[in-house]
Chain A
């Protein structure tokens, strides 16, 4: 079935560093792709999305491009802040708005 794979392990980096979190997907067809963020003590929030190939989703300085050729949707931010510390989940819609999530990546930004 449709699924999402995120890179293993937490990500620790210094403030103002460049962040990349890898996400690849397996799907029949061309599903919408999402990045969700979960800040400490809060529920998941939609960070950005892309609905078709070559679309770029962006929000709060984060970007991700829907790459059909590599079945990827990597999340990037050019200069992270301490406030970006959170868990990030990649997800896809496999029909009727049902979401398949990756395992999530804990991002810790050190001042």
Chain B
């Protein structure tokens, strides 16, 4: 149980393109989802907390207009990298949990999306 699916697993696109990454909870309702970013040989960095039916909460230093997050249902959150540039190339990982963030329920992680901007 508690499966989280991320799609696509890998995407390569040209500079200036907007890219959408999906994060789905397959067998549970995910009130809260988290989006992380990982550079090579670095730790995962939390970008934002996504709350079903409300606006995402972004971590300090993360551009809201650059990384658009939508969490319109209890099983789907999307991250859109707008007008992507080579410096946005990274590994993006989502996680999902039941209940609100403050409930500190276990997080279940997706397999990640490798984004490469040419």
User: What separation, in Å, do the CA atoms of A96 and B109 have in the docked complex?
Assistant: 17
Flag whether A57 is at the interface (Cβ < 8 A).
no
Is B46's CB under 8 angstroms from A43's CB? no
User: What separation, in Å, do the CA atoms of A24 and B44 have in the docked complex?
Assistant: 16
Flag whether A69 is at the interface (Cβ < 8 A).
no
Is A104's CB under 8 angstroms from B49's CB? no
User: What separation, in Å, do the CA atoms of A4 and B34 have in the docked complex?
Assistant: 19
Q: How many residues of B contact A (CB 8 A)?
A: 27
Beyond A42-B111, A43-B111, A99-B44, 4 additional contacts (C-beta under 8 Å) are: A32-B104, A43-B93, A44-B95, A104-B43
Q: How many residues of A contact B (CB 8 A)?
A: 20
Residues of chain B within 8 A (CB-CB) of A41 are 111
Residues of chain A within 8 A (CB-CB) of B101 are 96-98
Flag whether B105 is at the interface (Cβ < 8 A).
yes
Min CB–CB distance A59 → chain B (angstroms): 13
Query: Which residues 41-77 of A sit at the B interface, judged by CB distance below 8 A?
Result: 41-46
The chain B residue sitting closest to A93, CB to CB, is B104
User: What separation, in Å, do the CA atoms of A99 and B43 have in the docked complex?
Assistant: 11
User: What separation, in Å, do the CA atoms of A101 and B105 have in the docked complex?
Assistant: 17
Query: Which residues 52-110 of B sit at the A interface, judged by CB distance below 8 A?
Result: 59, 93, 95, 97, 101-107, 109-110
Is B34's CB under 8 angstroms from A98's CB? yes
Is B93's CB under 8 angstroms from A103's CB? no
Is B46's CB under 8 angstroms from A99's CB? yes
The chain A residue sitting closest to B101, CB to CB, is A96
A46 touching B46 in the complex, CB below 8 Å, given contacts A97-B101, A98-B101: no
Flag whether B25 is at the interface (Cβ < 8 A).
no
Flag whether A100 is at the interface (Cβ < 8 A).
yes
A43 touching B112 in the complex, CB below 8 Å, given contacts A89-B43, A97-B32, A99-B46: yes
User: What separation, in Å, do the CA atoms of A97 and B102 have in the docked complex?
Assistant: 6
User: What separation, in Å, do the CA atoms of A70 and B106 have in the docked complex?
Assistant: 26
User: What separation, in Å, do the CA atoms of A103 and B101 have in the docked complex?
Assistant: 24
Residues of chain A within 8 A (CB-CB) of B106 are 46
